[in-house]
Amino acid sequence: MAPEYKRIPILHAAYRAGVRLADEKIGANEVKAFCPFCRHLTKKPHLFLNTEIDQFFCQRCGARGNSVSLYAMVRGISNKAAFRELEESNLQLFPQAGPGEGRREYMAPLEQRHDIYYDLLALLTLSDRDFLDLLGRGLTLDAIEHNMYRSMPSSAQARKELAGELARLHDLHGIPGFYLDETGAWSLAGNGGLLIPYCTAKGYIQGLQRRAEIQGKRRYVWVSSNPDKCSKDGSPLYPYGTRAKAWIHITGNIHNSTASITEGALKGDTASCLSKDALYLCAPGVNAIKFLPAAVRSLSVERLFGEYDMDQIRQEQYSSALQRMQETLKPLGIPYIQQIWNPAYNGTDDYKLHSRQLPLAA
């Protein structure tokens, strides 16, 4: 059954909880109020209510949370009970834009995404199955550890517990994958599968992809919580969620003057590992190159190689996409050379694994 979802505006929750607002408004989306948790100690308003993301934060005592937790904390009740009470009350008191209206584009800054994804990965382990699969691709133990691959739990309850643990340390608004469920608690979208970090040149985790098995086929999907995605009955699947973007993963020695472009972070990580830390730029798809020029500019490369799968560069649909990519890269003024190899080895990683296993010529 799809969860019933109702947005609880922070001003509504504050009003119902008896939080006194100050006569100050800071910017379009912030209202100052007297903190209910430290108000007997101070006569100044230290509480910030953000009406765009429905969060509160006290500058003085550090209390923070969302509409539901504000109300729950003041009333000394559970989040679930607080949500029910707020939901039953008249939400029209403070009418505001609903989810998706002017708030859908909010994405937490890179540093925050990195911290949260890093902490998420630190809470997870790599299953034996995924570990053996990575070894079989040709990745070394060092590379497997360094690249922080993890296995995502397939149980929704386990993912909810992870999100709950992270929510105690971080604000999860604007982090693709996380959303508020019907009880007002954070949860993590997705399913089981291998998690693959997409990193910047400096090693910040921008986003995560998950290797899913859909109808026996492996697919790479973003860890994402698109707030516009609805169930069949029209209710949002991921309230307050954030959709992932087509980030470019950078792997290998960032000081190299030559870089290769390939499709998929795991393929790039593997190819890099098999060729002495060669530098790779990995796009999530051949058409997903919006951030490719910026990724190239973040490096100091003088030459680019295209290392796309052999079966794909022969497809017309694919070769026109490659053409578009070359057009996109042209303004950078960096020579681009499309690589080809024995088509018996489709991906650059397959080819590199094979050539490494060939006996060295005398």
Written as six digits, the tokens of 268 are 């790039």
Residue 38: CB minimum distance to Zn ion, A: 3
Choose among 72, 240, 111: nearest CA to 172: 240
Closer residue to Zn ion in complex, CB, 60/245: 60
Beta strands in 223-322 (DSSP E): 249-251, 258-263, 279-283, 303-306
Give residues in contact with Zn ion (CB under 5 A). 35, 37-38, 58, 60-61
Burial class for 105, CB neighbours closer than 10 Å (0-12, 13-18, 19+): exposed
H helix or E strand, kind and range, residue 306: strand 303-306
Q: Which is nearer to Zn ion, 64 or 245 (CB)?
A: 64
Shortest Å distance, C-beta 279 to Zn ion: 48
Q: Which 3 state secondary structure label does DSSP give 199?
A: strand
Least separation in angstroms between residue 35's CB and Zn ion is 3
- Using DSSP, state whether 41 is helix, strand or coil: helix
Cβ 60 to Zn ion shortest distance, Å: 5
Closer Cβ to Zn ion, 48 or 280, answer by number: 48
In the complex, the smallest distance separating the C-beta of residue 73 from Zn ion, rounded to whole angstroms, is 11
236 DSSP 8-state letter:
B
The rounded distance, in Å, linking the Cα atoms of 262 and 157 is: 35
252 and 238 in contact (C-beta within 8 Å)?
no
Q: How far is the CB of 43 from Zn ion (least distance, A)?
A: 13
Least CB distance from residue 23 to Zn ion, whole Å? 19
Q: Which is nearer to Zn ion, 21 or 107 (CB)?
A: 21
Q: How many CB atoms lie within 10 A of CB 335?
A: 12
Residue closer to Zn ion (CB basis): 36 or 177 = 36
* Identity of the residue, 38 or 74, whose beta carbon is nearer to Zn ion in the bound complex: 38
Please name the helix (run of DSSP H) or strand (run of DSSP E) that holds residue 305, with its range, or none. strand 303-306
- In the complex with Zn ion, which residue's Cβ is closer, 60 or 229? 60
Closest CA to 293 of 253, 265, 324, 339: 324
